[in-house]
Structure 1
Amino acid sequence: MNNTNKTTAIEVVEEIMNRDNFSRWLGIKVLQAGEGYSKIQMEIRDEMLNGLGIVHGGIPFSLADSAFAFACNSRNNLSVAWDTSITFTKPSKLWDVLTAEAKELHNGKSTGLYIVTITNQRNEQVALFKGTCFRTAKPLI
């Protein structure tokens, strides 16, 4: 079911953010949203660091997971994560500003494949996330 004519990607992302306390706790700001695409940003705070003084791996993973969710639900077809993975390429530190850009590689009837690149404020890649979603054929809104 394609609800593109009724609901825009921006409306879907706004609805997800309204319901998503965790993304709001992360301090996520939506920069762009479109069909199969999203770009979001957040700043690393003190409570996001691990015992080594670098960002806890769950933080960039969560940022990427939110970008992935926004992109794969952008057509108002309720989609959930089926498989995800992340590779960390550079550590993030206190006050770094991370940007996650999700791009759709495959938009199938029941699945979708996305790649999310996470960069810091110096445009250095800090992680690469890959996600496959399962589409439920139910509208999100």
Structure 2
Amino acid sequence: MADPHDNAAQVLAEQVTQAMWSRDRASQGMGMEIREVRPGYARIAMKVRGDMVNGHHICHGGFIFTLADSTFAFACNSYNRNTVASACHIDFLAPGKEGETLEAEAVERSLAGRTGVYDITVRGENGQTIALFRGKSYRIAGEVIAGLQQADQAA
């Protein structure tokens, strides 16, 4: 886990975020907005659109899961080491409503070797907890920013 007062680590987390965001068409397409990223931490918001509600007229759980998963991805990749999910679990506690902006906050709980554990809380506009998500990460070969540079060179 990084020192929260390490400016170089913060700059790197922001650069990694920009590199990942430039390629993340799924999160962009869902209208997500990155609000904050630090080493091992991220906050992302998403407004629940009409095309995101299910037959009960509440936000489809898959969209809530995707918001939490994207937030998890930005937190665990903030060190510029390619990191993917190895497992995750979500508990839905309350519905998200059409027109409501949901915000997910990812917090690193453990980082050792190639694995990490992150807790993501999804909240509604009134601060109510909508869902709790736990993600387990696994570091693979490569770097996020190097991957962007390689893709640019191939194009």
Same topology, TM > 0.5: yes
Which residue is 2:152 aligned to? none
Deviation at 1:37, TM superposition (A): 0.2
Structure 1 distance, partners of 2:41, 2:8, is 17
Q: Which runs of 5+ in 2 are unaligned?
A: 1-6, 146-155
SS state at 2:144 partner: coil
Shift of 1:16: 1.0
Q: Distance in 2 between matches of 1:28 and 1:15?
A: 16
Tell me how large the CA RMSD over aligned residues is.
1.6
Secondary structure class of the residue paired with 1:92: coil
What is the letter of the counterpart of residue 20 of structure 1? D
Looking at structure 1, the residues matched to 99 and 111 of structure 2 have their Cα atoms a distance apart, in angstroms, of 35
Deviations 1:13-44, CA, capped at 9 Å, x for gaps = 11111101110011111111010000111100
State the shift of 1:65 in Å. Answer: 0.3
Between Structure 1 and Structure 2, how many residues are aligned? 139
2:120 counterpart SS class: strand
SS of residue matched to 1:91: coil
The aligned residue for residue 134 of structure 1 is: 138
Report the CA distance between 1:99 and its aligned residue.
0.4
For the pair 1:102 / 2:106, whether they are aligned, the reply is yes
What residue is the counterpart of 1:72 in the other structure?
76
Equivalent residue for 2:124, pick from 114, 120, 130: 120
Aligned match for 1:46, one of 40, 46, 50: 50
- Structure 1: gaps spanning 5 or more residues: none
Determine which structure has the larger helix proportion and give its number.
2
CA distance in 2, matches of 1:17, 1:107: 23
Taking the aligned partners of 1:5 and 1:45, their CA distance within structure 2 comes to 37
Amino acid paired to 1:64: A
Partner Cα distance (2:18, 2:30) in 1: 16
Give 2:106's aligned amino acid: A
More RCO (CA 8 Å, sep 6+): 1
Which stretches of structure 1, 4 residues or more, deviate above 2 A after TM superposition?
A: 4-7
